[in-house]
Amino acid sequence: MQSLNSVNWINVLLVIVLTSFATMFAMANLTPIQLHFLGVSSGSVPLYIPVFTAFMLGFFGGVLALTFSRRKHKHEISRLKQENERLQREVDNLRNIPLQDDV
């Protein structure tokens, strides 16, 4: 239980550090810009907004991809466990068959 508590403190510390860096980045990049994409123009927005938006879209895209990958691997593990149990039962049944003498 001790290591779980230290992991929680590490997570809290990591969140504080990343939030601090994000805040410093935002404060250093308040320059207003206009975005132009596929013929659509935005109003004047601070530079950090499109940067954070792109970061968050990438982050959530990665989480989504990881979720599908993890689901696929969990399904594969479940299938392999079932096959392992079936094969183990087969081996146990073969061990319990009495030997026949060829006389």
Q: Is the pLDDT of residue 30 over 70?
A: yes
pLDDT of residue 56: 92
User: Residues with Cβ < 8 Å from 26, sequence gap 6 or more?
Assistant: 46, 48, 52
Domain assignment present for residue 29? The answer is: no
Domain assignment present for residue 71? The answer is: yes
Average pLDDT of span 23-27: 90
Report the number of distinct structural domains present in the chain.
1
Q: How far is CA 99 from the centre of its chain?
A: 53
Model confidence pLDDT, tens digit, residues 46-91: 989 989 999 999 999 999 999 999 999 999 999 999 999 999 999 9
Average pLDDT of span 32-43: 87
CB atoms within 10 A of CB 48: 19
Domain assignment present for residue 52? The answer is: yes
Domain that holds residue 57: 48-96
pLDDT of residue 89: 94
Domain assignment present for residue 84? The answer is: yes
Domain assignment present for residue 72? The answer is: yes
Domain assignment present for residue 25? The answer is: no
Joined together, the tokens standing for residue 77 give 């593990």
Residue 39 phi, psi dihedral angles, 5° rounding: 80, 5
